[in-house]
Structure 1
Amino acid sequence: MADPAAKWDDLTIRIASGAAMTGIGAVGVILGGVWFQMLVVFVSAVMVWELWMMIRPTEATKGMLLAALVASVMSGQLTYDSSWALLLFLIAPLLGATQLRTEVKTFFIFAFGIQIAGWGLVHFRNDYGFTWILWLMVVVIVTDIFGYFAGKSLGGPKFWPKISPKKTWSGTVAGWLGAALVGGVFMIFTNVGFIIVPLSMALSFAGQMGDIAESALKRRMKVKDSSTLIPGHGGLFDRFDALLGGAIFMIVVADIFDIPGVAF
């Protein structure tokens, strides 16, 4: 019979690594400006490297060169406000795709999406301010925490077993409820309206879909984690996949829909 405590074996190291990442991220978010930009550029470049290594682990040098290219392009592009400059984000995905014999579309889509999400986070911080980016990140973090503990404690039917066999409906719904609570707190302590509650839940779901997309990628590539950079968490791609999904979702919301409460 399995030891019930075994399912919590990774909790301590997850908490320690998570606390370290949260601290670094918090400093970047609070400082904003070039500091947050550098943090986002670094994380985005590493995630593209991890993406490459999942697809083509035998050619690490090319992955590092692509990561350096991503960092260079993003650092330059983030100084411009023109949306036309987003076309520069096609450089690394296209160049990387030409070096692959398989998973060409996979690399292109994920590499481009990573950069777009990073661009969105930087501009959200600059244009909407600290409170807005704090809300986005807290929703994603709380969704993950509620989902983790509910899934481990309650178990139950799997959410999407073919793609992510560890995720349960109990954890998924708990993530939505946690996001709703976050929205309620921000509604109370800021001048935002009730729309922030359902918007938080929608953001939570978008983040979960980002997580699912990365899980599907790992299963396709037959790897457990995107890398081993972070003890207890795998790679940066494993840790920030939900934030990528949430950021892309909010780019669509902020740019296409006129929803009160998008900006605090």
Structure 2
Amino acid sequence: MSSEVSSSKWADLAPRVLSAIAMAAIAIAAIWIGGTAYVALIVVVIGLCMWEFARLLQPTPTALPIVMGLAAAGGTFLSSFGSINAPGVIMSPQIAALFIAPVMGAVLANQHRLLFFAYGLLIMLAGLGFLSMGPGPALVWFILIIIISDVAGYFAGRVIGGKKFWPRVSPKKTWSGTIAGWIGALVLGVIGMVLGYFNVFEALLFPFIAFAGQMGDIAQSAIKRMVGVKDSSNLIPGHGGVLDRFDAMIGAAGALVLLTGVGSLIFAG
């Protein structure tokens, strides 16, 4: 009996590892090709994430998820012509385009209007973050933070166990796994600092990025629990939807864009 429990405890290890490898492979290919191919990849991913998110909140047959997905893809494409570090970017048409899909959801949805806007905007900010980071080394380090945090949290949660982080929303997440994710991200930041890629302040930001990723995962879990579904869609056989695979990255990338945007305003002033 104990061997059966032990094996079931690690039953999801293979798909999680394969998913991490697949995401890494896609990122490496996109960075290697660069240019239009990379932008197209981000546009498609953000469009699909927005479509899945809208379907979760508006499950009845309606064109709203499709329209929001297309608006998100279009807004992400327009934002690729700007930079979040450019002077006056907060008032630029590129940034304004990011609000189209979230506002559309807030206005046209039958329910959860505030959530439509808030999480929809987070998805759009994440798209801007992906475009601003890549293709380049910054995106590679960002993905490594998410992967290291997830892997460290996975093993610590199952080996150490202990008190649950937020049992009502995410029953499997433990405090030991959550903290292990922060430690893993910090170790990665220190390695990057030793190699000369980051200064001390930048290395110390790694755990905060990992935490934002964890919150992105929990936020999406909370949304799925609220509407009573297991996966955001079935686009990826055996693994759910695109949003299920990118929820942590969306939380971390969105938070990174907000930090960068606020920082640019402070230093510009």
The question of a shared fold, defined as TM-score above 0.5 by the shorter chain, is answered with yes
* 1:145 Cα offset (Å): 1.1
Task: Say if 2:224 is the partner of 1:218.
Answer: yes
- Structure 2 unaligned spans of 5+: 84-88, 265-269
The residue type equivalent to 1:124 in the other structure is M
Q: Quickly say closer, same or farther: Cα 1:104–1:203, change in 2 above 3 A.
A: same
Verify the 8 A CA contact 2:209 2:255 in the aligned structure 1.
yes
Q: 187, 209, 219: which one pairs with 1:181?
A: 187
The partner residue of 1:91 within 80, 93, 100 is 100
Distance 1:23 1:41 in 2: 18
1:158 pairs with one of 160, 164, 171: 164
Is residue 171 from structure 1 mapped to residue 177 from structure 2 by the alignment? yes
Taking the TM superposition and a 5 Å limit, the aligned residue runs for 1:101-120 are 101-120=110-129
Instruction: List per-residue Cα deviations over 1:200-228 (Å, max 9, x = no partner).
Output: 11111111111121121112112112122
Separation in 1, partners of 2:68, 2:258: 27
Deviates more, 1:238-247 or 1:171-180: 238-247
SS where residue 20 of structure 2 aligns?
A: helix
Partner of 2:51: 49
The within-5 A match list for 1:194-213 is 194-213=200-219
Q: Secondary structure at the match of 1:144?
A: helix
Give the secondary-structure state (helix, strand or coil) at the position aligned to 1:228.
coil
**Alpha-carbon separation, structure 2, partners of 1:224 and 1:106:** 19
The number of aligned residues is 255
Check if 1:249 corresponds to 2:258: no
Native 8 Å contact 1:53 1:59 kept in 2: no
Q: Runs in 1 of length 4+ with deviation above 6 angstroms?
A: none
Structure 1: distance between partners of 2:258 and 2:63:
35
The alignment partner of 2:110 has SS state of coil
Q: 1:235 to 1:13 in 2, by over 3 A?
A: same
**Alignment-derived partner of residue 61 in structure 2:** 59
The one-letter code of the counterpart of 1:43 is: V
Percent of pairs identical after alignment?
A: 37
In the TM superposition, what is the alpha-carbon distance from 1:29 to its structure 2 partner? 2.7
Q: Displacement, 1:154?
A: 2.0
Measured after TM superposition, the shift of residue 182 of structure 1 is: 0.9
Gaps of 5+ in 1: 259-264
Q: 1:252–1:98: structure 2 CA closer, same or farther, 3 Å change rule? A: closer
User: What root-mean-square deviation, in Å, do the aligned CA atoms of Structure 1 and Structure 2 show?
Assistant: 2.0
Supply the AA of the counterpart residue of 1:76. Answer: L
Does the alignment pair 1:71 with 2:67? no
2:267 is matched with none
Which amino acid in 2 is paired with 1:54?
A: L
The Cα offsets for residues 112-166 of structure 1, whole Å up to 9 and x where unpaired, read as: 210111112202326xxx2222111110111011111211222210011122111
State the shift of 1:232 in Å: 4.7
Tell me, yes or no, if the aligned pair for 2:125 and 2:254 is still in contact at 8 Å.
Answer: yes
Q: Partner amino acid for 2:139?
A: I
TM-score by length of structure 2 reads 0.86
Which residue does 2:16 correspond to in 1?
A: 14
Give TM-score scaled by structure 1 length.
0.88
The aligned counterpart of 1:193 is: 199
Corresponding residue to 2:242 among 212, 236, 241: 236
Contact 2:58 2:110 in 1 (8 A): no
C-alpha contact (below 8 Å) 2:49/2:242 kept by paired residues: yes
